[in-house]
């Protein structure tokens, strides 16, 4: 068997040091070291793990207009978000190169090309040479997320080769959107990466569903968030502690094979690196009778157009 046919995947199911960019980066680096020492080829972190998901919105009146409390939260979130252009991910890229390890990482991006004061839920792909190859900004924030995250664009709908696999990724409920999935299928995706803030109820159904639809491996990686993960230096700490549930994100990381069977069943409530091996031949077997953008498609009848321009408010000539 060709060693390029197999892929060793690490799923980092962890909590952030919530809304603390520097300390969360250090935690991420420790998991990169662990995955590298275990000879993983690919390491995946959950949605918005750096510096964390905006859980406060659900239990502190996040929709109250012009609230000083919500302004404080947003300012704290903004100052702890990731500025790629300023080198915030440099140390992570160095470790990826050291271990020849590809990484999918969910971040909150403070996008310089959109003025530097709006936030995007972005999924970053770093290749085994330590180079950032794509930044996918979540197309449509979900429900209360729209109070703090801006809508992204199609620029990051990209796929990347890792050994014999062709990997692409989407954020959370984007995975329920048929057209973004199709955009990745059409690029040859056979390893689908789905990242989540953390909920078994999300990953348990859609992971095998996407696997069966795409005849691809699907890796769902979630975060964790518990009441004890809330740092005391958070703005309005007492308010959060008095209103937050004990568990805000329970994990649910898992892997489904191209026939929809489990490679790794959803892991609940455990903070650890989950490691599994997959083989490309299983994709080839399942494509024999169904290939959604290949022999089982009808482009003469149905066709998708994708705008992958990076959207900006100002064009300078």
From the list 40, 93, 138, 189, the catalytic residue is 138
The total number of structural domains that make up the chain:
1
261 burial type by CB count under 10 A (0-12 exposed, 13-18 middle, 19+ buried): exposed
Q: Is residue 152 part of a domain?
A: yes
* Domain-located, residue 202: yes
pLDDT at 2: 81
138 is an active site residue: yes
Bridge partners (DSSP) of residue 277 are: 8
Which CATH number does the domain housing residue 7 bear? 3.60.110.10
Question: From CA 32, how far away is CA 96, in angstroms rounded?
Answer: 7
Calculate what percentage of the chain has a pLDDT beyond 70: 100
* 172 catalytically annotated: yes
Tokens of 261: 């069977």
pLDDT of residue 1: 58
Task: Give the residue-averaged pLDDT of 184-196.
Answer: 98
Residue 317 in any domain: the answer is no
Distance set, CA 70 to CA 48, 58, 65, 67, 141 (Å)? 19, 12, 9, 5, 18
User: Is 302 inside any structural domain?
Assistant: no
Whole-number average pLDDT of the chain: 97
- Compute φ and ψ for 288, nearest 5 degrees: -60, -40
Q: In the prediction, which pLDDT does 316 show?
A: 87
CA distance 130 to 177: 30
Does some domain include residue 127? yes
Taking phi first (over 0 means left), then psi (-120 to 50 degrees means alpha), and beta for anything else, what does residue 188 get? left
Q: Could you tell me if residue 303 is inside a domain?
A: no
What is the span of the domain harbouring residue 255?
3-286
Selecting among 47, 109, 164, 286, the annotated active-site residue is 47
Show the tokens assigned to 85.
């252009």
Mean pLDDT of all residues in 152-159: 97
- pLDDT per residue over 67-107, tens digit each? 999 999 999 999 999 999 999 999 999 999 999 999 999 99
pLDDT, one tens digit per residue, over 118-132 is 999 999 999 999 999
Tell me how far apart the alpha carbons of residues 98 and 104 are, in angstroms, rounded to a whole number: 16
pLDDT value at 20 more than 70? yes
Answer whether residue 95 is part of any domain.
Answer: yes
Do the beta carbons of residue 154 and residue 138 sit within 8 Å? Answer: no
Give a yes or no: residue 308 inside a domain: no
- Dump pLDDT digits (tens) for 25-75: 999 999 999 999 999 999 999 999 999 999 999 999 999 999 999 999 999
The CA distances from residue 196 to 121, 145, 176, 228, 254, in Å, are 11, 13, 12, 20, 11
**Which among 40, 121, 166, 172 is annotated as catalytic?**
172
Query: Could you confirm whether 109 is annotated as catalytic?
Result: no
């Amino acid at each position: 068997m060709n060693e390029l046919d197999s892929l060793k995947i690490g799923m980092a199911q962890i909590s952030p040091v919530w809304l603390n960019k520097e300390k969360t980066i250090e935690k991420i680096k420790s998991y990169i070291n662990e995955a590298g020492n275990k000879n993983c080829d690919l390491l995946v972190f959950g949605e918005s793990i750096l510096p964390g998901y905006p859980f406060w919105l659900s239990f502190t009146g996040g929709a109250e207009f012009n609230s000083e409390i919500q302004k404080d939260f947003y300012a704290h979130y903004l100052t702890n978000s990731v500025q790629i252009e300023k080198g915030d991910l440099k140390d992570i890229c160095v470790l990826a190169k050291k271990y020849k390890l590809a990484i999918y990482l969910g971040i909150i991006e403070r996008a310089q090309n959109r003025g530097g004061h709006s936030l995007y839920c972005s999924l970053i792909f770093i290749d085994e040479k330590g180079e950032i190859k794509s930044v996918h900004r979540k197309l449509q924030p979900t429900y209360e997320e729209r109070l703090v995250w801006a809508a992204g664009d199609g620029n990051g709908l990209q796929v990347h080769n890792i050994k014999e696999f062709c990997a692409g990724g989407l954020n959370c409920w984007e995975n329920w959107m048929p057209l973004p999935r199709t955009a990745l299928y059409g690029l040859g995706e056979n390893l689908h990466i789905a990242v989540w803030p953390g909920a078994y109820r999300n990953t348990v159904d859609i992971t095998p569903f996407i696997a069966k639809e795409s005849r691809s491996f699907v890796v769902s990686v979630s975060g964790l968030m518990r009441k004890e993960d809330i740092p005391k230096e958070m703005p309005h700490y007492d308010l959060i502690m008095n209103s937050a549930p004990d568990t805000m994100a329970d994990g649910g990381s898992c892997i489904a094979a191209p026939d929809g069977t489990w490679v790794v069943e959803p892991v609940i409530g455990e903070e650890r690196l989950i490691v599994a091996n997959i083989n490309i031949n299983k994709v080839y077997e399942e494509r024999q009778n169904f290939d959604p953008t290949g022999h089982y498609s009808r482009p003469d009848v149905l066709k998708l157009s994708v705008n992958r321009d990076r959207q900006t408010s100002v064009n300078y000539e």
